[in-house]
Amino acid sequence: MSKLLKPDLCVIGAGSGGLTVAAAARAYGVSVVLIEQNKMGGNRLNYGCVPSKALIAAARQVHDIRQANRFGIRTSAPEIDCRAVHKHIRGVIDTLAPNDSEQRLLQSGAQVIHAPARFFGKDVIEAGGYTIKARRFVVASGSSPRVPPIPGLDKVDFLTNETIFERKDLPAKLVVLGGGSVGVAMAQAYQRLGSKVTLLELGRILYKQDLDVADAVVSALKSEGVDVRQNTSVTRVEKGDEGIRLHLESAGKASVLDGSHLLVAAGRIPNISELGLNAAGIAYSPDGITVDEGLRSVTNSRVYAVGDVAGGHSTHAANYHGGLVLRPILFRLSAEVRHEIVPHVTYTDPEIASVGMNEGEARGRGIEHRVLRWNMADNDRAQIEHETNGFIKVLAGKNGAILGATIVGRNAAELIHVWALALSKGLSLRDMTDYVAPYPTTGEIGKRAAVTYFQEMTRKPVLRGLLGGLRLFG
């Protein structure tokens, strides 16, 4: 006999989205049951953002040491202790883990069940010997690595983000399959740490980005020694003398690539197949649960979805979703996702950070726009630090409206904040020229780009005539 629980809210998944919902609901005194079948903290803490950025940080240190001669500093080649790098990654995870711990939720008064969850009706879930009948449900079950249907791939050992960070040694010849944000960042990081890396992409690297944006990263990867192969398909995989052998095809020509390890970074699939969604009358697709503009299931009004299962695809999107669904769940207020205010970041060097529309999207939707651009090479702080690779692109709409912004450069993720705020608050380019930027900072590029929007006004005959007339009065 299972034990019956009747909370106000049942949350499936203890990743960023689920924890945001559960913790906030408990803060308001709402009864909460949280179900997680794997590790607390989900993909973000254990396999995704945290370990990957810790690895990237270590790789950046190596790169900066190698580049120190730009400042007149002579150094010997850095020695890389792979076990110490692994210890650094684990140390970061262990330091942050208490923030997402079961103990912290239990102290707030939530109940945590460690087990798979499955719907058995529109308002019934079973998990770990419990039957949970809740007023509302939030599905925040995250996603898993997508494994492409390549012949032979299931017969060889390969790495994903869920396994690569457990390695205590460095892959000698790493092949990265997938040229999206994860693939390019991992390719660069492992190349910097000493692996010989080949990056394979079926189409164009970072295809969602404007071509000039993607090219800036591709050029950086190539300059650091990464073998970048675009428009290349893998027709077959098998074991090889060095570990793994891939049969490739590009422009109609076949070739063979040998590597010691293969990292599959070919996208993500939502974790919904084992949830029994049909039993709950929850509509879904391969992309996740079908939700309305407020993240509510279109076919079961008791159920909401946040994060990867609702198309979030980032930790901050999951957090945003989590805060959003609390409005209707707790306060009966309306909620609507504003996709345009959610930033996107690719953690390469240079980084890519964007919010709102990019140039390709605006052109494809037939939206009238101007592109405002300022190069890092024209920024004093970037010159001081020898970090001149990159630029900012701002899309300006009618009357100085901000349609979007993309920044390419070191620490671009830190520089996009002000543009994310501008979009969320409906600020204009005039607003972006009114503040005082400290000097010298790379953030000045944003204001410089905004100012260029008004340069055409200085050349208008009417305005010049007005200035000439005013000079007559002394």
Give which of 94, 127, 93, 134 is closest to 112, Cα–Cα.
127
Cα–Cα dist 26/23, whole Å: 5
Give yes or no: residues 71 and 189 share one domain: no
Give yes or no: residues 110 and 46 share one domain: yes
Strand (E) or helix (H) holding 360: helix 359-364
**Strand (E) positions, 347-412?**
351-356, 370-375, 391-396, 402-409
Give yes or no: residues 111 and 240 share one domain: no
Question: Which amino acid, residue 133?
Answer: K
CATH label of the domain that carries residue 72 = 3.50.50.60
Provide the terminal-to-terminal Cα distance of the chain, rounded to the nearest Å: 94
Q: Is 356 helix (H, G, I), strand (E, B) or coil?
A: strand
Residues facing 137 on adjacent strands: 10, 303
Q: CB of 6 within 8 A of CB of 133?
A: yes
Residue 457: its pLDDT value, please?
Answer: 65
- Binding positions: 53, 201, 267, 308
Give 131-176 as a DSSP string: EEE-SEEEE---EEE-----TTGGGS--B-TTTGGG--S--SEEEE
Residue 325: its pLDDT value, please?
Answer: 97
Give yes or no: residues 262 and 275 share one domain: no
- Binding positions for FAD: 53, 308
In a domain, 421, yes or no: yes
Give yes or no: residues 39 and 141 share one domain: yes
Strand (E) or helix (H) holding 33: strand 32-35
- How many CB atoms are located within 10 Å of the residue 92 CB? 17
Cα–Cα dist 116/280, whole Å: 16
Tens digits of pLDDT across the chain (474 residues): 689 999 999 999 999 999 999 999 999 999 999 999 999 999 999 999 999 999 999 999 999 999 999 999 999 999 999 999 999 999 999 999 999 999 999 999 999 999 999 999 999 999 999 999 999 999 999 999 999 999 999 999 999 999 999 999 999 999 999 999 999 999 999 999 999 999 999 999 999 999 999 999 999 999 999 999 999 999 999 999 999 999 999 999 999 999 999 999 999 999 999 999 999 999 999 999 999 999 999 999 999 999 999 988 889 999 999 999 999 999 999 999 999 999 999 999 999 999 999 999 999 999 999 999 999 999 999 999 999 999 999 999 999 999 999 999 999 999 999 999 999 999 999 999 999 999 999 999 999 999 999 987 666 676 566 656 766 676
Give yes or no: residues 10 and 136 share one domain: yes
In a domain, 395, yes or no: yes
Give yes or no: residues 127 and 177 share one domain: no
Q: Which of 310, 339, 368 is the last residue of a domain?
A: 339
The half-sphere exposure of 192 on its side-chain side, counting CA atoms within 13 A, is 24
Which contacts of 323-326 are long-range, i.e. CB under 8 A and separated by 24 or more positions? 323/20, 323/24, 324/294, 324/295, 325/21, 325/138, 325/294, 325/295, 325/296, 326/21, 326/24, 326/25
Total domain count for the chain? 3
The distance of Cα 469 from the centroid of its chain, to the nearest Å, equals 54
Give yes or no: residues 299 and 376 share one domain: no
Give yes or no: residues 227 and 360 share one domain: no
- Binding positions for NAD(+): 201, 267
In a domain, 466, yes or no: no
Q: What is the helix, strand, coil percentage profile of the chain, to 5?
A: 40, 25, 35
Give yes or no: residues 8 and 135 share one domain: yes
In a domain, 470, yes or no: no
The pTM (predicted TM-score) of the whole model is 0.94
366-386 as b/e: b if 16+ CB within 10 A: eeebbbbebbbeebebbeeee
In a domain, 467, yes or no: no
- Residue in this structure with the two tokens 């190539």, named with its chain if needed: 222
Cα–Cα dist 469/176, whole Å: 66
The distance of Cα 410 from the centroid of its chain, to the nearest Å, equals 16
Q: CB of 183 within 8 A of CB of 201?
A: yes
Which contacts of 167-171 are long-range, i.e. CB under 8 A and separated by 24 or more positions? 167/82, 167/86, 168/82, 168/83, 168/86, 169/82, 169/83, 170/80, 170/82, 170/194, 170/195, 171/195, 171/259, 171/260, 171/261, 171/263
In a domain, 85, yes or no: yes
In a domain, 119, yes or no: yes
List the domain range (segments joined by +) for residue 173. 153-267
In a domain, 461, yes or no: no
Q: Which of 339, 368, 397 is the last residue of a domain?
A: 339
Residue 334: its pLDDT value, please?
Answer: 94
Residue 252's alpha-carbon distances to 201, 204, 248, 249, in angstroms, are: 15, 17, 10, 6
- Residue in this structure with the two tokens 């999951």, named with its chain if needed: 318
Cα–Cα dist 125/12, whole Å: 10
Give yes or no: residues 197 and 237 share one domain: yes
Q: CB of 316 within 8 A of CB of 12?
A: no
Give yes or no: residues 26 and 114 share one domain: yes
CATH label of the domain that carries residue 393 = 3.30.390.30
